[in-house]
Chains A and B, each alone.
Chain A
Amino acid sequence: MFFRIMDRSRMPDLVRGLAAEYEVIGPIAKDGKFVFGKVEDPSDLRLDYDTTLLPPKKLFFPPEEQMMRFRVADNEVVDDEVYAAPRVVFGLHSCDINGLLLMDNVFMRDYEDPYYRARRESTLLVGVSCTSSETCFCNAWGTDEVHWGFDIFLTDLGDRYFVSVQSVKGAELLDRHVESREITSEDTEEFQSVTAAFKDSFSETLDTSQLPLLLDAKFNSPMWDELGDRCLSCGACSMVCPTCYCFDVVDRLAPDQKSGARERRWDSCQFGEFAAVAHGQNFRESRASRVKYRYYHKQWGYLSKFERVLCVGCGRCQRACLAGISPREVVKALETGGVQ
């Protein structure tokens, strides 16, 4: 990794330069909130955004996707090849870059997902520093920092950006499209103080010590029933989660019933049918067991395999949950023994 300084006024040059070679996707305004969408003009880009409605996972693992087509008469199968246009996702916060790294473990490590990989490999990531909001708790998991997995990361120093360059591609782009200069010791000091101020800006620091142990110790706690009573079973939390990767696979026949397509769609462990199997059995029929499962999987199951929890503290699920269930509340309840 190496570092450069870019003047704030150069930002439109960088975006325009990237747009000449890539499709540029970044946070843009929608109905008073923000979404990752196509940046037509540098002025569309809203780097002052707090968070987006959906996380960037939608760009790599779309909510609905056709995987293959088949012919009924002879079982002929045609796989759908993903054509992924070269693109740059510009303005990712560190939580979301960490979220993608957690998704990579699932889609590109033990099991190869060609649809995900094609999009992932054709996409460059440009990160940007952020300020904490009321629903953020990335500081609980250390995902307020990101050390790898991006091409360029821009830390806002006011009149200029402290640019961390991580990939050769990132270096080339910076070199080709924007004027930048070498860092000085003052720049590095300011970078350190900005980073420290960011870390101090969180309203609280969650105690996550012994979390997996507590999950096991409190497996039969009434807190899960209380959460189950509140849960709306709507699956909003899973949809907006940057690390929820479950999908349902559906075969659909064309109207003439002679051919069909296999599709996958985002699924949620909060749906009643999620753990239903043949013969009408259901491993998690109660809402309480499903809410519990969500936390067990994220803070224990994934951890036991990949040594990280499957949460980046972005707070989207808390914002999306009409019943106000949040991982922060659940972690606190595990630590203290009750849901508020």
Chain B
Amino acid sequence: MAPRVVVIGLASDFGCQVQMTNIEDHLLEVLGLIDLTYWQLASSGHMPDEYDVAIVEGAATTQEHLDLLRRVRETAGVVIAIGSCAVTGGISAIANAAGIEEGFALVYGERGRVALGRVAPASVVSVIDVDYIVPGCPIDTDEFLHVLSRALHGLRDKTPRQPMCFACKTRENVCFFEKGQLCLGVVTRSGCHARCVTLGRPCTGCRGIAPEANLPAARIVFEDHGFDAERALSYISLYNTNEEVVL
């Protein structure tokens, strides 16, 4: 029997679910392997009570989200968190950087209406244990397919753990630090083929801090190039507010 799969979106711009639709060349092949019982972006029905695999995008921002995630963890054999919001908090959780109340007032002013049961934004990974992650803003379709394939075959998560400078070197980019620009590639989880930096934009850290990154050493690199730790941390907080980063 094909595994029953649900795709759930929490607080996010649904960009990662849109990326899933962008797998158009292979979407039908993938759908042939699974029983897609619910896809929030594309279905109007309700989420079923039983399923085997839950793919979750977005960050939890309400009590309802937190309850849903716990229910998902109890129900699904496999949980896959996709995108920065679900993995590291991402843009959805950026409010945590300034403090949720201050951030809310800044964006919505005094007349803003607070969602029922609002909680401080939290990545899926910080709320429940997940089995696989697909980091990035948005996700890379190839990587998503690869992770889904591993999940379907019961293979362990193999998301790269090292920072991405090595990938940047294979693309023969000139290091942004040499050009006097701050680049987070030195601490950011690889697996993106150094796409942004190859297109001429320094890394903003959307894939999260690499588990193998050497943060104290990176601090020295930042400082040696004229970027104090505070500046580097504020840059890092764009996508990474859900876990405390200490340089």
Contact = CB atoms under 8 A, between A and B. Distances in A.
Interface stretch (B58-66, B103-111, B119-127, B208-216): B208-216
A234 B163 contact: yes
A270 B213 CA distance: 11
A249 B54 CA distance: 29
B172 A54 contact: yes
Contacts of B23: 255
A242 B217 CA distance: 26
Contacts of A252: 146, 149
Interface in B156-171: 161-166, 168-170
A228 to B, nearest CB: 9
A70 to B, nearest CB: 14
Given A33-B174, A272-B212, A236 B165 contact: yes
B169 A256 contact: no
A268 B30 CA distance: 33
Contacts of B165: 232, 234-236, 320, 322
B214 A257 contact: no
B162 A271 contact: yes
Contacts of A31: 173-174
Nearest to B166: A235
Interface string A53-68: 1100010000110000
Contacts, number: 102
A266 B30 CA distance: 29
B214 A232 contact: yes
A322 B163 CA distance: 13
A322 B172 contact: no
Contacts of A53: 169, 172-174
Interface string B194-238: 000000000000000001111011101100000000000000000
A63 B166 CA distance: 10
Q: Size range of the interface on B?
A: 35 or more
B165 to A, nearest CB: 4
B174 A239 contact: no
Given A252-B146, A255-B30, A257-B33, A236 B162 contact: no
Nearest to B146: A252
A232 B166 contact: no
Contacts of A35: 172
Contact of B162 (A235, A256, A257, A323): A235
Contact of B169 (A229, A240, A270): A240
A273 interface: yes
A271 B212 contact: yes
Contacts of B213: 232-233
B174 A320 contact: no
B32 interface: yes
A320 B32 CA distance: 46
Interface string A250-291: 001111110000000010101111000000000000010000
A89 to B, nearest CB: 16
A323 B221 contact: yes
B214 A256 contact: no
B170 A266 contact: yes
B177 interface: yes
Contact of A54 (B30, B169, B177, B220): B169
Given A232-B214, A272-B162, A239 B170 contact: yes
A29 B163 CA distance: 27
B159 to A, nearest CB: 11
Interface centre among A35, A255, A266, A320, by most chain B C-beta atoms within 10 angstroms, is A255
A243 interface: no
A314 interface: no
Contact of A238 (B166, B175, B186, B216): B166
Interface in B3-41: 23, 26, 29-30, 32-33
A53 B162 CA distance: 21
A268 B163 CA distance: 12
Given A236-B165, A272-B161, A231 B217 contact: yes
11 contacts: A30-B172, A233-B214, A234-B162, A235-B165, A235-B169, A239-B166, A256-B26, A272-B161, A320-B175, A322-B177, A322-B221
Interface of A: 30-33, 35, 53-54, 58, 63-64, 229-236, 238-240, 252-257, 266, 268, 270-273, 287, 320, 322-323
Interface of B: 23, 26, 29-30, 32-33, 145-146, 149, 152-153, 161-166, 168-170, 172-175, 177, 186, 211-214, 216-218, 220-221
Given A234-B162, A234-B165, 9 more contacts: A229-B216, A231-B217, A232-B221, A233-B163, A235-B162, A238-B166, A255-B149, A256-B32, A257-B153
Shortest Cβ-Cβ A-B pairs, 6 listed:
A235-B166, A234-B165, A255-B26, A239-B169, A63-B170, A256-B29
